[in-house]
Structure 1
Amino acid sequence: MAYIIGTILVIIALIIVGLILRKRVYDVVDRQESWKMDIMNRNIASELQRIKNLNLSGETQVKFETWKERWEYIITRELPDIEEYLLDAEEAADRYRFSTAKKILRKADQTLQSIESDIENILQELDQLLESEETSRLEIEQIQPEMKELRKKLSQHRYQYGKADAHFDNAIDELEKRLKQYHEFTQSGDYHEAQQLVDELKVEFATIRQQINDFPTIYKSCKHDLPAQLDELLTGIKGMKDDGYRVEHLGFEKEIHNYQRRLSDCVTSLDKGDLEDARQIIPELEERIKEMYVLLEKEAIAKNYIETQIPSYRHLLDELSTSFHETKIEVEELKQAYYFEDGDMEKYLTLDKAISQLRKQFDELSIEIENEDTSHMELREMIEAGFKQIESLQAELEAFKKRIRALRKDELEAKEKLSEVKNQLNDTLRKLNKSNIPGVPTFIWNLSETANEKNAQVLKTLEKKPLDITEVQHAITEAEKAIDTVVEQTDMMLDQAYLTEQVIQYANRYRSQYPLLAAKLAESERLFRSYEYELSLEQAAKALEEIEPGALKRIEAFQEEEVLN
């Protein structure tokens, strides 16, 4: 029983699967049937009738016949074959021959896709043909009146074209031949060739039109304007030469003659309708003429500059030479009394050489001005450089003058310093004489003697011939140091002596009470009378501090107050 039920279920399953697969085949058949009907219902024939507006001959007729035959073949052969394929597929599905049905449907699908592709190509080629015809026709309709207008312009202004009018007439004739050839192509149905010809014709016409429009201006420039400018420039150069301007070195005349020959060659080329050489030379020559005028103007300005500045230049150079000569005399005098540093002598000799060289350059410049071998622009550069040199040398000479004049100033200052040092020493000695101290320590006299020797050394260096101011300044410095030491040590010694007296007087109040203090004070007094003021102060201060700590500070404070008051 179970076996029977299983068998029945299998059969049912197979039937269901078969129905599903058959349904799928039917769906594909329905879709391809709809596709086929859509193709049959397309009005391709009426689309092809659009070509009837063109001339059905030549290339156009061949294409039309090809498209028509292909469409008729689709309608009469391929679509009926599709119908057979679909019936065969349904029949195979009814018999559960699904693989056969799939193969048939695949073949039908490929055929339908091929039909679609061919229809698309037909319509695309048709549109391209119609568009090409319309575009070329519109372009020709635009070119034709422009071509007539161009010929009219050439005819009315023929005098502006010289001998080139024949060339442009021939060029327009050639364009009209090409235009006639276009109409022949369209009448014979060769619209593709007609479109190619129109594309070429547009380029050629644009070129000829541009040449005809540009030619009068270019021809006038090469034939009249530029030659006239060159002639005027030559005349101007000749006039400048007659007026003494030095323009020969510029080589303009040879260059101008070369440009005149090139312009003549350009005119010959223009008479043949060739504008290329002229297009190149016109901007080049216009720019070069401007450059020539600029250089000639510079030469004229330079000549005027030289004529007006040479007297000033000579005057400044003479002033510089005179000033240096005066300085030279002063240096020779100073060399007898003073020692010159190597750097000062080097600067002096350098100035002498530079001024002599500048004078030599001016003499050479004067010769070149007279000989007329050098351009005024070059001469101006030389003069401008000379002015800068003079200005620099004047500054250097003034600095050198200040330097050598400072030698005497340093001498006077050294003598003043020496006088000050002597006065300081004398004041110190008077201060010692007025003091109430028992005597002056030997080291003070030694320092005073050293200071005197330093002063004597200053006098000795001042008396040397030539005077070495550096040595003098060194001697002054040493003398100042020596006197500073004398003053410092003397003041210190006097302060110590005075303080010692104060300490002993203050400590005397304890002398009777403290025998040991009395003995130490007696020793301090002995040292004081022996001029040992520092040791005496140390002995007395130490003895007092042992009896009354802090007494020394109070005595020092009291002494400072007296000094301030």
Structure 2
Amino acid sequence: MAYIIGSILIVIALIITGLILRKRIYDVVDQYEAWKMDIIGRNINAELSRIKILNLSGETQDKFEAWKERWEHIVTKELTDIEEYLFDAEEMADRYRFSKAKKTLAEVEKILQSVEVAIEEILKEVDELLESEEKSRKEMEHVEPTLKELRKKLSQTRYQYGKAESYFEKKLDELTKQVASYYELVDDGNYFEARELVEQIRVSLDTVEVRLHEFPHLFRMCKQELPSQLDDLLTGVKEMKNEGYRVEHLAFEKEIRNYQQKLLHMVEKMENGDMRNAEVIIEEIEERMKEMYQLLEKEAIAKNYVDTKMPSYQQSLEEMTASFSNTKEEVEQLQKSYYFEDSDMEKYLTLEKSIAKLNSQMEAFVSEMEQKKVPHTKLRLEIEEGFVEIEKLEEKHEEFKKRIHNLRKDELEAKEKLTEMRNQLYYIQRKLKKSNVPGVPTFIWNLLETASEKNHRVVKALENQPLEMAEVQQALNDAKNAVSYCMEQTDLMLEQAYLTEQVIQYANRYRSQYPLLAEKLAEAERLFRNYEYELALETAAKAVEEVEPGALKRIEAYQEPIDN
């Protein structure tokens, strides 16, 4: 029983599945049927009839017939086949031959898509043809007035074009013929070919229009203005040469004639309609003429500078030479009495060589002026450099003069210092004699003797011929240090001796009370009498400090106002 029920359910399921699949086939058939009817319902003939406004001949007629034939084939053949395919698909679905039905429907879809592409291509080509015709017609509406205007302009201003008038007339005639060819193509229905010709006409017309506009100016520049300017420049160069300006080295005359020939050749080319490089040549010549005028102006300014500054330059050099000559004589005299350092002699010889070089350059400069070959710009540069060099040499000369003058000044200052140190030694000796000390320690006399010897060395150094100031300065510094040290030690010795006396006198009040103190004071007095003042002071001070701490400071405080 279960097998029977199962079988029944399977059959029912198969029936239901079959019905569903058949329903799907029917739905697709209905969909494709609607697609087919939509295509049939499109007014393709009306779209094709749009080109009837054009001349149906030639290329246009061929295309129209091809489009019409293609559309008729779609309607009568391909869409009719689709109807049969759809009927077959329904029969196959009824018979549950779903696989074959699907293949049939796939073929229908392929045909429908192909038809859509074909229709799209037809409509696109129709649009392209109409757009091409419209664009060509509108561009021709601009071309013909422009062509007419250019011919009018050429006729009214033909004097500005010279022989090139025939070239432009020929170009305009060629364009006129191309316009006529355009209308012939249109009359023959060859709109795409006409479109290509319009493009060519427009490009050629733009080129001719630009050239017609630019030609008069370029032609006038090459034929009249630049040749005239070059003639003026050439005349100016010749006049400057006659007036003494040195411009031969610039070689402008040859260059100007080359430019004149280049312009003649350019004019000849332009009269034949060849405008290439005209702007480049004009710009090149204008820029070069500007440079030429600048160089000529520079030469004129340089000549004026040379004529104006040459006398003052010669005078400055002569004054510098004369001044150095005086210095040279002074150096020769001073060398007999003074020793010159190598660095000083090097500066002196460098000055001498530099001034001699400037004088040699001046001789060459005068020769160049007389020969009249060297440009004034170069001469000006030489004068300017000469002025700078003279200024530097004057500064160095002044420094050197101060240096040699300082030699005598240093000698006088050294002698003054020597006298001062001798007075200081004399003062020390007087101070020692007037002091109440028992005697002068030997080291003080030794210091005095050393200082005197060093002073004597200064005298010897000053007596040398030639005088070497470096040696004098060294001896002077040694003597100065010796005298200063002698003065310091003498003052210190006298201060110690005087303070020792004060300490002993102060400590005497305790001598009877403190036997040990009395013994130390006696030792201090013995040292004092033997001129050993430092040890005497140390012994006495130590003794009194043991009895009365702080006594030495009070004694020193009492001594300072007395000394001052």
Report the CA distance between 1:25 and its aligned residue. Answer: 2.7
1:278-293 alignment runs, 5 A limit: 278-293=278-293
Residues 549-558 or 160-169, more deviating: 549-558
> Does the residue aligned with 1:276 lie in a helix, a strand or coil?
coil
Partner of residue 255, structure 2: 255
Q: Does 1:325 align with 2:291?
A: no
Q: Does 1:265 align with 2:265?
A: yes
Report the CA distance between 1:532 and its aligned residue. Answer: 0.5
Partner of residue 243, structure 1: 243
Cα deviation code 1:51-91 (max 9, x no counterpart): 11111122211211111111111111212222222232233
Partner of residue 527, structure 1: 527
Partner of residue 337, structure 2: 337
Partner of residue 196, structure 2: 196
How many residues align structurally?
564
Cα deviation code 1:21-63 (max 9, x no counterpart): 3333333333322222222221111111111111112221121
Q: Distance in 2 between matches of 1:259 and 1:222?
A: 10
Structure 2 residue identity aligned to 1:410: D
Residues 555-564 or 456-465, more deviating: 555-564
Residues 84-93 or 252-261, more deviating: 84-93
Partner of residue 167, structure 2: 167
- Compared CA separation, residues 424 and 11, structure 1 to 2 (3 A): farther
Q: Distance in 2 between matches of 1:454 and 1:219?
A: 100
Partner of residue 14, structure 1: 14
Partner of residue 127, structure 1: 127
Q: Does 1:143 align with 2:143?
A: yes
Q: TM-score, normalised by structure 1?
A: 0.96
Q: Does 1:424 align with 2:456?
A: no
Report the CA distance between 1:508 and its aligned residue. Answer: 2.2
Q: Distance in 1 between matches of 2:292 and 2:44?
A: 76
Partner of residue 474, structure 2: 474
- Compared CA separation, residues 188 and 520, structure 1 to 2 (3 A): same
Residues 155-164 or 553-562, more deviating: 553-562
Q: Distance in 2 between matches of 1:97 and 1:254?
A: 104
Residues 296-305 or 524-533, more deviating: 296-305
Structure 1 residue identity aligned to 2:150: L
Partner of residue 393, structure 1: 393
1:89-104 alignment runs, 5 A limit: 89-104=89-104
Structure 1 residue identity aligned to 2:49: Q
Report the CA distance between 1:560 and its aligned residue. Answer: 4.2
Residues 535-544 or 437-446, more deviating: 535-544
Partner of residue 383, structure 2: 383
5+ long unaligned stretches in structure 1:
none
Q: Distance in 2 between matches of 1:396 and 1:537?
A: 62
- Compared CA separation, residues 505 and 14, structure 1 to 2 (3 A): farther
Report the CA distance between 1:542 and its aligned residue. Answer: 2.6
Residues 129-138 or 494-503, more deviating: 494-503
1:467-506 alignment runs, 5 A limit: 467-506=467-506
Cα deviation code 1:189-222 (max 9, x no counterpart): 1111111111111111111122222222222222
Q: Distance in 1 between matches of 2:459 and 2:20?
A: 142
> Does the residue aligned with 2:339 lie in a helix, a strand or coil?
coil
Report the CA distance between 1:530 and its aligned residue. Answer: 0.3
Report the CA distance between 1:546 and its aligned residue. Answer: 3.3
Residues 12-21 or 188-197, more deviating: 12-21
Residues 149-158 or 500-509, more deviating: 500-509
Q: Distance in 1 between matches of 2:96 and 2:139?
A: 65
Cα deviation code 1:370-394 (max 9, x no counterpart): 1111111111111111111111111
Q: Distance in 2 between matches of 1:533 and 1:303?
A: 90
> Does the residue aligned with 2:230 lie in a helix, a strand or coil?
helix
Q: Which runs of 4+ in 1 moved over 4 A?
A: 560-564
- Compared CA separation, residues 9 and 448, structure 1 to 2 (3 A): farther
Report the CA distance between 1:561 and its aligned residue. Answer: 5.5
Q: Distance in 2 between matches of 1:17 and 1:561?
A: 145
1:178-257 alignment runs, 5 A limit: 178-257=178-257
Residues 553-562 or 178-187, more deviating: 553-562
Report the CA distance between 1:421 and its aligned residue. Answer: 2.1
Q: Does 1:80 align with 2:80?
A: yes
Q: Distance in 2 between matches of 1:17 and 1:446?
A: 148
Q: Distance in 2 between matches of 1:554 and 1:27?
A: 142
Report the CA distance between 1:326 and its aligned residue. Answer: 1.2
Q: Distance in 2 between matches of 1:29 and 1:559?
A: 146
Q: Distance in 1 between matches of 2:17 and 2:44?
A: 42
Structure 1 residue identity aligned to 2:16: I
Report the CA distance between 1:255 and its aligned residue. Answer: 1.0
- Compared CA separation, residues 184 and 505, structure 1 to 2 (3 A): same
> Does the residue aligned with 1:459 lie in a helix, a strand or coil?
helix
Residues 167-176 or 513-522, more deviating: 513-522
Structure 1 residue identity aligned to 2:299: E
Cα deviation code 1:90-137 (max 9, x no counterpart): 332333322222212221111111111111111111111111111111
Structure 2 residue identity aligned to 1:415: K
Using the aligned pairs only, state the percent identity.
62
1:149-160 alignment runs, 5 A limit: 149-160=149-160
Partner of residue 465, structure 1: 465
Q: Distance in 1 between matches of 2:556 and 2:91?
A: 148
Report the CA distance between 1:563 and its aligned residue. Answer: 4.5
Partner of residue 354, structure 2: 354
Q: Distance in 2 between matches of 1:300 and 1:214?
A: 38
Q: Distance in 2 between matches of 1:221 and 1:7?
A: 110
